Every structure is written in structure tokens, then in C-alpha cells.
Chain A
Amino acid sequence: AQSVTQLGSHVSVSEGALVLLRCNYSSSVPPYLFWYVQYPNQGLQLLLKYTSAATLVKGINGFEAEFKKSETSFHLTKPSAHMSDAAEYFCAVSLHGGSQGNLIFGKGTKLSVKP
């Protein structure tokens, strides 16, 4: 069965510093991987997705993630944090279509950005 582990329920960085949010997955077949962001009191918005094309995926708001099969990881990065990046971030995995397309979410990482 697939699963997702997000290391660190809270991450705090200074404005302008590197953002690194960690995600490791478990899957018996090549997965599709997603990062979603949830701003306070809002729904989930897709940041980026990996669907077996390029391993380095660029998303919105300057975020990117790299799929590393050997490490079963899909860490999210941004070179320079902005105050507006403060939010909760969720990594998710799914297999292919049909019922296997159900998303399995990690428990989330709350990002704080200090001025």
C-alpha cells in the first residue's frame, strides 16, 4: 500500500532563506506525486505534480520539487522564502487511474516565515 511521510510538522525559516520541506513515499509501483498548499482558512491548491515526465518539477510561486526514485523522496524547495509562503503544505501520492487514483496525503508541514 502507498504511504507518505512528511518529516517535520512545523518548519520555520527567515524571510529570504531556503525553504526545504521533506516528503518520502512508499509505493510498490511508480507513483504520481503532488504537493498541495493550504493558506489559512482556505482550501487546497495544487503547487506542482510529478507524473513520470521530468524528475525536476517546477510549480507555482517559485516552488520546485525533485523526484528521486533511489531515495523514494519528493522534497519541496524554494530558494528564497517570502512572508506570503506561510501556509501548510501537504505531500500526496497516487497510483494510476481508476480507484488507484485516490490520493494518500501526508500529515502536513506548517511553514512559518520570520521577518
Chain B
Amino acid sequence: EAQVTQNPRYLITVTGKKLTVTCSQNMNHEYMSWYRQDPGLGLRQIYYSMNVEVTDKGDVPEGYKVSRKEKRNFPLILESPSPNQTSLYFCASKLELQGHYEQYFGPGTRLTVT
């Protein structure tokens, strides 16, 4: 089944404890992206990647890191999480090909930082 998977789905952690949220897609998509969703703000892009070893900042990159060593994986790293990073996180992917425009989303990771 074609899908985007994220792990973990739920995470509660403490301020300053490094964490990684994994994202993997099995559709051979070049483009991958991370969003955070906050009530009343919709989804805002954190980072995106056009292909392996190519990443760029989105609208709200502060406090986050990403890497793209393999095409299928795009982990989101919080080196020193803070309470304002409590949010619902979505990973997405899409084909970088003319005629393919929609993004496919993972199920989300709900992160709480205390």
C-alpha cells in the first residue's frame, strides 16, 4: 500500500531532551516536507526537501533540523525541544513530475513538550 508513515504517533517529552520523529514514504517521491498544525493557524511548513541531500527552510524552521540521506526517509530532529514546539506534526511527500501536484500526508505525530 502506498503510504507515508510517521513514528512515533504520540510523544510526551521534557524540555531540552533531543528527539527525532521519523518519516518514511514508499512511493519513490522526490519531494518531502514537514508541517506543524496548531489550532487557528492551519498547517505551516517547517522544512522541505526536493531530493536526496537537498533541504530548505519553510516558514517556521527555528528549533528544527532535518536530513535527507535516503530518498524514502526524512526525519525531523528537535535538538532541544521547548514547550512552544508542542504541536501536531505532519510529514508529506509528492512526485516532482509535471502533472503531479498533490501532496500525500502521513497520519501525524502529536508531540507534547513539558
Contacts and interface: CB of A to CB of B under 8 A. Distances in A.
B62 to A, nearest CB: 17
Looking at chain B's contact residues, is the secondary structure mostly helix, strand, loop, or mixed?
strand
Interface residues of A, number: 23
B53 to A, nearest CB: 15
Contact of A44 (B56, B96, B101, B105): B105
Contact of A43 (B48, B58, B98, B105): B105
Interface string A71-115: 000000000000000000010001001110111011110000000
A102 B48 contact: yes
How many B residues touch the partner, as a band?
20 to 34
Interface string A45-88: 11001010000000000000000000000000000000000000
Given A44-B90, A97-B98, A103 B103 contact: yes
Looking at chain A's contact residues, is the secondary structure mostly helix, strand, loop, or mixed?
mixed
Interface of B: 31, 33, 35, 40-45, 48, 50, 56, 58, 90, 92, 94, 96-99, 101-108
Interface of A: 9, 32, 34, 36, 42-46, 49, 51, 90, 94, 97-99, 101-103, 105-108
